[in-house]
């Protein structure tokens, strides 16, 4: 792709995830110089959708640590990951975050 930007990379990541090619999606993600909340959400959702829950939660943790604003898409994917791991403690922490943030 001669001219990459966040939007074109997000679309590419989304298409790769829909086709189940998480490895290529992760490669595009890792090579992006800048990411936005949609980029992070796509990766977290893709990982948890295909039951790579630990990696999805790890991405979520990185996203949160970098100060990205979490939204309902982020939190829904993270809760799916917690359920997939049967991690009640992590699920409670996410629930607490939701309550505190309104």
The interaxial angle of helices 53-65 and 37-49, nearest 10 deg, is 160
Boundaries of domain holding 29: 6-101
Side-chain half-sphere CA neighbours of 76 within 13 A? 8
Number of domains in the chain: 1
Residue 1 belongs to a domain = no
Residue 73 belongs to a domain = yes
Residue 59 belongs to a domain = yes
Q: What is the pLDDT of residue 27?
A: 97
Q: What is the pLDDT of residue 2?
A: 72
Q: What is the pLDDT of residue 16?
A: 97
Low-confidence ranges of the chain (pLDDT < 50): none
Each residue of 20-34: pLDDT tens digit?
Answer: 999 999 999 999 999
Q: According to DSSP H, which parts of 50-102 are helical?
A: 53-65, 72-85, 88-101
Residue 20 belongs to a domain = yes
Q: What is the pLDDT of residue 55?
A: 95
pTM (2 decimals)? 0.88
Distance CA 5, CA 16 (A): 17
Residue 92 belongs to a domain = yes
Q: What is the pLDDT of residue 1?
A: 66
CATH number at residue 71: 1.25.40.10
């Amino acid at each position: 792709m001669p001219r990459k930007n966040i939007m074109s990379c997000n679309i590419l990541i989304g298409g790769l995830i829909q086709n189940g090619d998480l490895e290529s999606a992760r490669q595009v993600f890792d090579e992006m110089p800048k990411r936005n909340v949609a980029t992070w959400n796509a990766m977290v959702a893709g990982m948890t959708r295909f039951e790579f829950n630990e990696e999805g939660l790890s991405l979520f943790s990185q996203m949160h640590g970098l100060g990205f604003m979490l939204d309902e898409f982020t939190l829904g994917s993270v809760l799916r990951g917690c359920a997939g791991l049967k991690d009640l403690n992590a699920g409670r922490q996410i629930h607490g975050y939701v309550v505190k943030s309104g």
